[in-house]
Amino acid sequence: MTSDFEPTGGIHHVTALASDPQRNVDFYTETLGLRLVKQSVNQDEVHTYHLFYGDGNGSTGTSMTFFPIEHARQGRVGSGQVQTTSFLIDPDAVEFWVERFSALGVDYAEPEPRADETVIPFRDPDGLQLELVAHPDAPAGNPWEHSPVPEAHQIRGFFGVTLALHTAGPTTDLLEAMGYARVGDVDAARTRFRADGDLGFVVDIVADEQRGRGVPGAGTVHHVAFRVPDDEVHEQWRKALVARNLNVTDVIDRKWFHSIYFREPGGILFEIATENPGYTVDEELDALGTHLVLPEWLEGRRSEIESKLTPLDISSPATMEADQ
């Protein structure tokens, strides 16, 4: 694969599967203190919510998104999946988060050292494997002023993802072509790659030939998206991936970004998404996430779609202000 053009600049977003949508909203906004920046539907299954959480501006590199399916079967993390999704926090925020998780009954483990960071492993209500990574390179970010978490301790965006694979080689080659430089072995099981940029800049690979394949379902990641700045670079990447004999989709308009999808050699669904036009293309910044938004090609089905969705209680202070 040629790398004569602009490499991907880190993670754009991560999308996971969940069960109860209200429980999902409550955990990511009230427990983790993220902003609900977009309330929409899965464009491939319009009777399922698509919920986006991020920083105060909904910045690229901060949005964790979910397809919550009520009564979804439980998934099992295994080879061919994202094993863990990691968020950046300031190194001074470790004690705050340990006390917060303990007080709120979150399933977490005690902080542990890894490379030059401190890691707090935890799980969301569906068992999704997550981490807070206290790292000296954590940017100041764009805090969410209505978050229940003080600004200094808020999640700043993605640190990265850990990929579970049978073998690392072909995926390693792809990541390096995408702009992730091999850093080296963090420990006996984990190899690290790092991209330029201040968010979503780390991909770790954990390879184990004996590990069973993952089972999709609640508590597992659906896909991980990497960012490019615009449509021109996006098209260059599509051509390069096709030349690599990967089965790449056509460009899909997701309203807030343009996407292509393909499975990397280890079986994990990758997406490459544009940074533009962004989440404010159809909502003012102050109103992000306060109402169900649909792309124009689904507006004609709004009544039918809304009738199949369980209403969400998102009555945060910001939501009430926007409704006034």
Quickly count: other Cβ atoms within 10 Å of residue 320's Cβ: 12
What gap in Å lies between CA 158 and CA 138, rounded to an integer?
Answer: 10
Phi-psi region of 240 (alpha: psi -120 to 50; beta: other; left: phi over 0): alpha
pTM equals 0.94
Residue 102 CA to residue 95 CA, distance in Å, equals 11
For residue 139, the tally of other CB atoms under 10 A from its CB is: 15
Using CA atoms, how far residue 41 sits from 87, 276, 309, in Å, is 24, 19, 9
CA pair distance 124, 23, nearest whole angstrom: 10
Q: How far is residue 214's CA from residue 78's CA, in Å, rounded to a whole number?
A: 4
- Within 8 A by CB and 6+ apart from 80, the residues are 164, 165, 166, 213, 214, 266, 267, 268
> For 210-254, what is the HEC assignment?
CCCECECCECCEEEEEEEECCHHHHHHHHHHHHHCCCCCCCCEEC
| Element spanning 133, H or E | strand 129-134
> Per-residue confidence of the chain (324 residues) as pLDDT tens digits?
445 567 888 999 999 999 999 999 999 999 999 999 999 999 999 999 999 999 999 999 999 999 999 999 999 999 999 999 999 999 999 999 999 999 999 999 999 999 889 999 999 999 999 999 999 889 988 999 999 999 999 999 999 999 999 999 899 999 999 989 999 988 888 999 999 889 999 999 999 999 999 999 999 999 999 999 999 999 999 999 999 999 999 999 999 999 999 999 999 999 999 999 999 999 999 999 999 999 999 999 999 999 999 999 987 544 444 443
Rounded distance, CA 141 to CA 143, Å?
Answer: 6
